[in-house]
Structures are given as structure tokens and as C-alpha cells.
């Protein structure tokens, strides 16, 4: 009896922490893969609406973003409260959209041009007027693939 007790006491109680870095690295890699470093600062308030028939955007390099929403508080002094368009990281007008699309086309391989998708991130409370103008410009620029960015809706529609 006493023999066993002695043995237990003698064994080192230290738990090896050698595998801890591995675990942390695993977490680290997960976050590194998931992370999308946002390249442009959002200057508009954009809360996308909810929908159910969603498609995932696969290839990031073939997607460009058009934001539509009201300017954030700190930009309201200059830009007012009317809905604005943001392309990249600056405010834009509707007529700048074809050039923006063209610029993206120049960056990708020719065979991939038809696969370019415009992701429209539009605030739910914006009226359709400005959205229609943007759509018209996209059609004029022959950019027909559009994705209306939306969140997954879980509940039922009232």
C-alpha cells in the first residue's frame, strides 16, 4: 500500500505543454485562412437585407463590390444624407461605374472576363431609384452578372 503511494508521489506532476503550440497554431491557421483582409474602408452604412435563395461567391478575384447606402455620420457634413455609391474606397457617381468595371476586366485573364460578378451591397432602406441607375450603368458596361448581397434568413416572412 505504502509502496504505491510513494510511487505516485515521486512521479512528476508536470503536464507537458509541448503540444500547446500545435493547438494554437491550428487555431492560427484556421483564422489565417478564414480572414479576408478588407481592402477598402466602408464609408456608407450598409445593412444588407435577408433572403433565402442565396448563392455563394466563390472566386474572390472575379468579384468587385458596389456599395450603396447613406454616408456614415462622419461623412455626412460633406456628402449629405442622400444615398451614395462607393466604389473601392471612395465615393463615386453612377457614370464612373463603366470605367470601374473596365478596370477590373483589365486585371483578369481574358477567358475569365465573362465570369466576373458584381456584388451589390445595398442597404435595405435605400429606395430603388439609385439602384436602378446603377443597374442601368452595369448593363451599359455589359456587366450582366450581378449578385445582390444578402444575409441568410432563418425565420419566416411576415
**Interaction site with another protein (CB under 8 A):** 17-18, 20-21, 24-25, 27-28, 31-32, 34-38, 48-49, 51-57, 60, 63, 82-83, 117, 119-120, 122-129, 131-132, 135-136, 138-140, 142-152, 156-158
Looking at the Cβ atoms of 2 and 55, the one nearer to another protein is 55
Q: How many CB atoms lie within 10 A of CB 75?
A: 17
Distance CA 127, CA 30 (A): 39
User: For residue 80, which phi and psi values (nearest 5 degrees)?
Assistant: 75, -170
Looking at the Cβ atoms of 11 and 36, the one nearer to another protein is 36
The residue written with cell numbers 455620420 in the block is 73
Looking at the Cβ atoms of 3 and 39, the one nearer to another protein is 39
Question: What single DSSP character describes residue 64?
Answer: E
Distance CA 87, CA 68 (A): 9
Looking at the Cβ atoms of 2 and 35, the one nearer to another protein is 35
Least distance CB 84 / another protein (angstroms) = 10
Least distance CB 78 / another protein (angstroms) = 16
Amino acid at each position: 500500500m505504502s509502496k504505491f503511494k510513494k510511487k505516485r508521489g515521486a512521479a512528476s506532476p508536470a503536464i507537458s505543454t509541448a503540444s500547446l503550440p500545435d493547438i494554437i497554431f491550428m487555431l492560427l491557421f484556421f483564422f489565417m485562412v478564414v480572414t479576408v483582409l478588407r481592402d477598402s474602408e466602408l464609408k456608407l452604412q450598409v445593412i444588407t437585407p435577408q433572403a433565402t435563395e442565396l448563392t455563394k461567391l466563390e472566386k474572390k478575384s472575379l468579384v468587385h463590390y458596389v456599395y450603396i447606402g447613406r454616408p456614415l455620420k462622419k461623412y455626412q457634413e460633406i456628402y449629405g444624407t442622400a444615398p451614395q455609391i462607393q466604389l473601392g474606397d471612395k465615393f463615386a457617381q453612377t457614370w464612373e461605374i463603366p470605367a470601374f468595371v473596365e478596370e477590373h476586366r483589365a486585371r483578369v485573364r481574358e477567358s475569365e472576363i465573362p465570369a466576373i460578378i458584381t456584388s451589390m451591397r445595398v442597404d435595405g432602406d435605400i429606395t430603388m431609384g439609385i439602384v436602378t441607375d446603377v443597374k442601368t450603368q452595369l448593363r451599359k458596361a455589359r456587366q450582366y452578372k450581378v449578385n445582390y448581397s444578402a444575409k441568410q434568413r432563418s425565420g419566416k416572412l411576415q
